[in-house]
Amino acid sequence: MPRVVHFEFNVDDPERAVAFWREVFGWTLDKWQGPADYWLASTGEGLGIDGALQRPPEFTGGQNTVVTVGVESVDETAAKVEAAGGTVVVPKMAIPQVGWLIYCRDTEGTVFGALQPDESATAGEGA
Phi and psi angles of residue 30, each rounded to the nearest 5 degrees, phi first = -125, 135
Domains with residue ranges and CATH for the chain = 4-117 (3.10.180.10)
* Mean per-residue pLDDT over the chain, rounded: 94
In this structure, which long-range contacts are made by residues 21-29, counting pairs with CB atoms below 8 Å and at least 24 apart in sequence? 21/53, 29/53
For 33-90, how does the pLDDT look when each residue is reduced to its tens digit (9 = 90+)?
876 789 999 999 999 999 999 999 999 999 999 999 999 999 999 999 999 999 999 9
Which residues are bridge partners to 52 per DSSP? 8, 40
123 burial type by CB count under 10 A (0-12 exposed, 13-18 middle, 19+ buried): exposed
Beta carbons of 94 and 100 less than 8 angstroms apart: yes
CA distance 98 to 96: 5
Is the pLDDT higher at 34 or at 127? 34
Which residues are bridge partners to 116 per DSSP? 100
Beta carbons of 76 and 126 less than 8 angstroms apart: no
